[in-house]
A and B are shown apart, each in its own frame.
Chain A
């Protein structure tokens, strides 16, 4: 899976929790879930659970710790998938 394919799979998982649509339109690897997309911290866990379901992986506490932006999420998914 390429980076582009990964980000394409990620976007619809993030979308339901986005509170800044403008920032979502410009989503890139550098986009921060909380600072840019204004995702409520109570919904970060939903994004993590949705990622687990979509990619059929399990994320541990230490994996979740840095999952505050798109780039970190992509890196952790790539590691778990072994790609």
Chain B
């Protein structure tokens, strides 16, 4: 099982405003807000924490299939490039990489290295980009794998015999996938 999440920093600058009233309170715990306050670059810290929460939520949906929106409920504790996220009795390990263009986080139940393949989309358009990401994933997976999403939108790879967990993420001009 795996969950991942990418944040296109350029998109985050334009499409979101983390400094708007009540934004931080809605999404982040006291501890997380202290990370943001103390960060050299609060903007990067906001999106790092967000991507950790999203990656953890996606992993959670693979274990406990249900959709909900409770980012604040996934409590992050940071340690260098690693983090742990807790939600009720669920806990996972998250690795994050920050570049000048994006932040990528990947959540596993055990400590694992980040394996997400990053895709920079050729053109605009949510639909075209989503197709490009799927094409790249299937090429990478090889064989006769097909991508299926269940009614909750949780993706999985299958070739009729083997099933593999997969996580896809898409934001702005960037996408990524991870297979486990």
Contact = CB atoms under 8 A, between A and B. Distances in A.
B50 A42 contact: yes
Interface string A32-43: 001100101111
A43 B16 contact: yes
Given A40-B15, A42-B15, A52 B69 contact: no
B178 interface: no
Nearest to A50: B20
Contact of B70 (A19, A46, A52, A65): A65
Interface residues of B, number: 24
A14 interface: no
Interface residues of A, number: 22
A68 interface: yes
B26 A64 contact: yes
B73 interface: yes
Nearest to A62: B70
A38 B70 CA distance: 18
A12 B37 CA distance: 33
B90 interface: no
A61 B7 CA distance: 23
Contacts of B21: 49
Query: Which 5 pairs between the two chains have the least Cβ-Cβ distance?
Result: A19-B126, A65-B68, A65-B70, A38-B126, A45-B26
Interface of B: 7, 12, 15-17, 20-23, 26-27, 50, 54, 67-73, 126-127, 153, 171
Given A35-B153, A44-B69, 5 more contacts: A42-B7, A45-B26, A49-B23, A52-B22, A61-B73
Interface of A: 17, 19-20, 34-35, 38, 40-46, 48-49, 52, 61, 64-68
